[in-house]
Every structure is written in C-alpha cells, then in structure tokens.
Amino acid sequence: MKLALSLGYAGAKMNIPLERVRRAEELGFEAVFCAETYSSDAITPLAYMGALTKRIKLGTSIAILSARSPANLAMCAQTIDAMCGEGRMLLCVGTSGPQVAEGWYGQPWGKPNYRLRDYVAIMKKILKREGPVSHEGREISLPYKGPGSSGLGKPLKSILHGNPNIPIFLGTDTDLNIRMTAEVADGWNCMNWVPAKTVKYYKGLIEEGLAKRGDGKKLKDFTIMAPMVCKVSNDVKGAIESLKPEIALYVGGMGAKEKNFHVEKMIRRGFPDAAHRIQELFLSGRKEEAAKAVPDEFVDEGALIGPPERLKQRYREFADSGLSILSMIRHTDEVIETMGKIAAAA
C-alpha cells in the first residue's frame, strides 16, 4: 500500500503546503491529489507543484465531470504530464452531486452512469490518438450534434502527441457505478473503504465489473485508492471528537435532503438512524447537536487515529485489506513524518 497526500480545495485563501509536498516526495509518497468543488480548481495547483517537485505523481481527486468537457480534461492532463515529466499525471473523475453540477457548473445532472461511461471513453480515445475522435454516447457525443449545433463539427485528432497511458480513476459510490468503474477505468477512488465492513462487498462488485472488460485485467491489477483522515494523538477520544463537526457538515449539509451521498455512505456502513438524525439536526440549524450525534465508531473505523503504535496497527489493517493507495486528508507535518516512517518500515 502506497501513501499519498490529498490537498482538497482552497478555503477563503489559496494555501499550497509546498514544503510538505516536497517532504512527502522525499519520504517516498506516491502522489499528491487536488480536489475541486466551487472553490479552487483541481488542475492548476498540480502544474504548480509539478514544476517544483521531481517525482511525486500529480492527481485530481476528484476533477468534477461537469466542470470540463472530456476533451478539455484530457488536454489538461497531457499538458501537465508533458511539462512535468511523462508518467506523473493521474486522473480521477467524479460527478459530485446535482447541487454542484447544476447550481455551480450549469450542467445537467443527467444519468451519471452513462455520463461517466461516455466521458471515459472519449478521454481514452483522445489520449490514444488512434484516429480522429468520434463518439455516439447516451449522454455525451463527439462531435456535438445537439440543440444549437451548426452541423459543421467534425472528428479531430489531438495535435499534441502526449502520454497515451495516463491512468483514469473514477470516484463512484453506488453498486451500479462501482461495477462500471471496474469495467471501464484503471482504478477506483473509494470514499468508504473500511476493512472490517466494506472490503469483501466492494471487491465482489469490482470483480463483477472486471469480468466485463474482456482484457484479462484482474483485481490485483486494479488500483484502489481511498482518502481518509490520519491524526497523530495520544488522546484518541479527543481526536475522534475533533472530526465530528466536519462529518456532520457533510452528512447534514453537503447535498439536498433527498439526495446526499454522505448520508447514503453512513447508512451503508450500518448507521442509518444516526445518518437521518444528523441530517435532521443539521438542516434545522442545530449543528453542535448534529456533531454530537456522530457515532465514535463511525469516525474511528474509517480513519487512522491515535499514537504511533495504534497507527501502525491500523496501517497494517488497511494494507492487508488490498487497498493500493491511502491518501491522507487533513494532514500535518507530524502526520506525514509518522506515516512515512510506518510505511517505510512496512
């Protein structure tokens, strides 16, 4: 299992922890990932960090599908890969939710399964440069022939001879889309990898998807990455409590009451009553009560929290579960030093 840093997206001000990224590179970390929603974008920081580092891979986690056409994301990826050193770019794409897709990017939510299939298919054709690109999709087609079309579009082939093998991961979270991810992509970004609960189930879905590929790819060849909090602390209870407000924010407010992936995630992990209670409290403005309603077990089982010896044990659990990349969020300098040493020893 390899380690990575997840930088998320910016708050009110941009702040790229460049020295921490450079130190992670020295410690042998596999990649640094950038996210986006309606703040900083997931592409520009990678170009900046790529110019100031030498080896560490540069990934989006996630690049939101509705923010760019598949052609534009493929162009961005090949441009960074060409400038920073071939083989460093990793693409992870996801849909976000309808509130972001339609409310911020002004794009239709549509049918996520079909949109992701079309998006990946178009990007792979562009990267491979085997001919002018055309695609007749259920949700996305190239050339465009829909409302407002001039009818003059024609299939084109990338002028840039870029890296044809940039890996494409998908960030998906339903059974249908996880199977599809294993069928069409090179890896999966899982928001919900819990060794004791979800691994066997998710591996079954992935193997079902791999069986449809027709290229012989097996589970051992398929990359699974998971973002999670790592926190070094002798006060495990206190560390767990400190993470609850953010969980309550996502479960309670990141999405509509009728459609919230984080509520669905908590239910899938076996906490349906807590999920509905947190959402109810948060949406009624009782945010502190919502945070207190987050179960300790939910926080602890999906994170690495504790003193170094406990972190070492938890690291082994995740590594033995088949996880390929553990991407650390909400990290500190102490976290990357501690986890770097644990990984090196392992």
Per-residue pLDDT tens over the stretch 317-339: 999 999 999 999 989 999 999 99
pTM over 0.85: yes
What's the domain range around 245?
234-306
Q: Are residues 225 and 294 in the same domain?
A: no
Q: Are residues 134 and 271 in the same domain?
A: no
User: How many domains does the chain divide into?
Assistant: 2
What does the pLDDT profile of the chain (346 residues) look like in tens digits?
999 999 989 999 999 999 999 999 999 999 999 999 999 999 999 999 999 999 999 999 999 999 999 999 999 999 999 999 999 999 999 999 888 999 999 999 999 999 999 999 999 999 999 999 999 999 999 999 999 999 999 999 999 999 999 999 999 989 999 999 999 999 999 988 999 888 999 999 999 999 999 899 999 999 999 999 999 999 999 999 999 999 999 898 877 777 777 888 899 889 999 999 999 999 999 999 999 999 999 999 999 999 999 999 999 999 999 999 999 998 999 999 999 999 999 8
* C-alpha dihedral sign at 95, 98, 99, 103: positive
Same domain as 282, residue 177: no
Q: Based on the fold, state whether residues 162 and 257 are members of the same structural domain.
A: no
Q: Would you say 325 and 223 are in contact if contact means Cβ atoms under 8 Å apart?
A: yes
Give yes or no: residues 23 and 78 share one domain. Answer: yes
| Separation CA 70–CA 131 (nearest Å) | 16
Same domain, 139 and 46: yes
Virtual torsion, Cα 181, 183, 186, 192, nearest 10 deg: 30
Same domain, residue pair 109 and 172: yes
Domain CATH code at residue 90:
3.20.20.30
Show the CA angle centred on residue 266, arms to residues 329 and 303, nearest 5°.
30
Shared domain check, 21 and 125: yes
Check whether residue 130 and residue 98 sit in a common domain.
yes
